[in-house]
Structure 1
Amino acid sequence: MPWETANGFFWRWNRAGVVTYIRDQLRRAIRTGKGCCPHPVTLIVDSQSVKGASTVGRNSRGYDAAKKINGRKRHITVDWLGLPVMITVTPADIQDRDAARDVFWRLRLTQPQITQVRADRGYAGDRVDWARERLWLSLRIVSRPKGVKGFVVPPRRWRVERTIGWCMNARRNARDYERLPQHSEAHLNWALIAMMTRRLTRKNARASMWTKRPGPAQVP
């Protein structure tokens, strides 16, 4: 297939919402297969800054001083199984609390059933009160345990960090090459679509990685 044809399908499907529709249908299939409600009510959000290639325009990139990265930032929202619900790409110099207004508005419009979102301290501040008063949304901040040094797995929030790791398994997502942020979001969605499709079609699979394996006391 000529690259022009493939690129044409790519941006037309993304503009028409086909990509997010496929993503959402796969998420619902996995959730119902696990005995969960098809529509999540509690979500987890986190961000990741990645370097932008020379093809990324100045008007859609920025410098993240904390991470020392010049590029874009990905705000990824997942459910309790780590399945993608929404992906938003912004310039890297936009603080999480500033991007939270747009992220939470989009969540409320596209997922009206949600009641709670968990995030790190980057989304804290006046956004907690704003989300409760304007969106009727409970924003809970999950911080690192006090007195703990070095790497630590944050309680509950590790699920979204695992999903970010899954996105990075696709070599195409290790750096942002797209001129439009919407196309960056589409590439991330396609990576997670491929991963969810493999999970649904795998035969004789080992214990699912969507949930923790039961401990010895939980085995019947």
Structure 2
Amino acid sequence: MIHAIVHAADIQDRDGGSFVMATMFGLYPFLMKLYADGGYQGPLFRRAVAKIMERVNVEIVKRSDHAKGFVVLPKRWVVERTFAWLGRCRRLAKDWENLNRKALAFLRLASIRLMLRKLCNPA
């Protein structure tokens, strides 16, 4: 996990995504490509990302109209797999936290646990 922000549930992902990009590209100005799902599609998000950093290429990973049933989407499975790994942490499985900063702290701890497990058990 490179960066995360926990915000209120009344903020739409597309609106919160531009805030995440503003803080993340300030920390990592060398990033050139951004993969996003269909929820971030539209001119508002593209303009917000272009205003933050002009050279970033936003690629929307969409499901094919001809696909039937379950189809693995390129690049999107990496994010979904990571969410599944983080969801195995008991503390993140339910929304127990009352404060955003505590939820972010437990998200970071779970990510650190996941990275340590990958480093210590290379298979």
TM-score w.r.t. length of structure 1:
0.51
Kept after mapping to 2: 8 A contact 1:117/1:139: yes
* Greater Rg over alpha carbons, structure: 1
**Runs (5+) with no aligned partner, structure 2:** none
Q: Say whether residues 1:88 and 2:5 are aligned partners.
A: yes
Residues in 2 aligned to 1:140 and 1:105: alpha-carbon distance in whole angstroms: 17
Kept after mapping to 2: 8 A contact 1:128/1:138: no
Of 144-153 and 181-190, the range deviating more from structure 2 = 144-153
Residues in 1 aligned to 2:115 and 2:51: alpha-carbon distance in whole angstroms: 35
**Runs (5+) with no aligned partner, structure 1:** 1-83, 207-220
Give the structure 2 partner of residue 132 of structure 1: 50
Residues in 2 aligned to 1:189 and 1:172: alpha-carbon distance in whole angstroms: 12
- CA 139–150 in structure 1, closer or farther in 2 if over 3 Å, else same: same
TM-score w.r.t. length of structure 2:
0.88
Give the structure 1 partner of residue 24 of structure 2: 107
User: Offset of 1:116 from its aligned partner?
Assistant: 1.4
How many aligned positions are there? Answer: 121
User: Offset of 1:89 from its aligned partner?
Assistant: 1.4
Kept after mapping to 2: 8 A contact 1:166/1:192: no
User: Offset of 1:106 from its aligned partner?
Assistant: 1.0
- 1 or 2, which has the higher helix percentage? 2
Letter in 1 for 2:57: S
Residues in 2 aligned to 1:138 and 1:173: alpha-carbon distance in whole angstroms: 31
Give the structure 2 partner of residue 146 of structure 1: 65
Give the structure 1 partner of residue 97 of structure 2: 178
Letter in 1 for 2:53: L
Determine what percentage of the aligned residue pairs are the same residue. 36
Kept after mapping to 2: 8 A contact 1:117/1:138: yes
Secondary structure at the aligned position of 1:87 is classed as coil
Letter in 2 for 1:192: S
Residues in 2 aligned to 1:114 and 1:187: alpha-carbon distance in whole angstroms: 26
Letter in 1 for 2:66: G
Residues in 1 aligned to 2:25 and 2:114: alpha-carbon distance in whole angstroms: 26
Kept after mapping to 2: 8 A contact 1:142/1:155: yes
User: Offset of 1:100 from its aligned partner?
Assistant: 1.6
